[in-house]
Structure 1
Amino acid sequence: MAAVACGFFDGAGSFDTLTLPIKDFDGTTVRTFVAKLDEWSICWVKSRRGLDPVPVVGRFVDGAGT
């Protein structure tokens, strides 16, 4: 297994990749935070199915993601 994570936009975004050679699977997530909207989102891309078309979206309330 190999995993790599990297941030961008001065901490407002990140992406990571995961490779599982035994399962013949690769995946990537892209996370973003829009401070003006106080909203975060996560998108998944999977080697077998491609991009999941609907991101998960939420907010932070009292320091916890919802």
Structure 2
Amino acid sequence: MKKKVQLYARKELGINRHSLRYAFITYLLRKGISPSLIAKITRHKNLNYILTYTQQKTADKILEKLS
């Protein structure tokens, strides 16, 4: 069942575990949760992974508004 759900999500919706994880991280950041707490929740060993990703997402969002 798990494999079928994963296949459906990837094939029909274009999402995978990685994209869901980072969507969750982005959601928590927008809710004001500290990056260090998010790193603990998501078991990131390096806070820079979260900060780099969110900075890229913020930059993409700004560029999207400008175009």
TM class, shorter-length: under 0.3
Bigger radius of gyration, 1 or 2? 2
Name which structure has the greater RCO, CA cutoff 8 Å, separation 6+.
1
**TM score, norm. by length of structure 2:** 0.23
**TM score, norm. by length of structure 1:** 0.23
Structure with higher helix content: 2
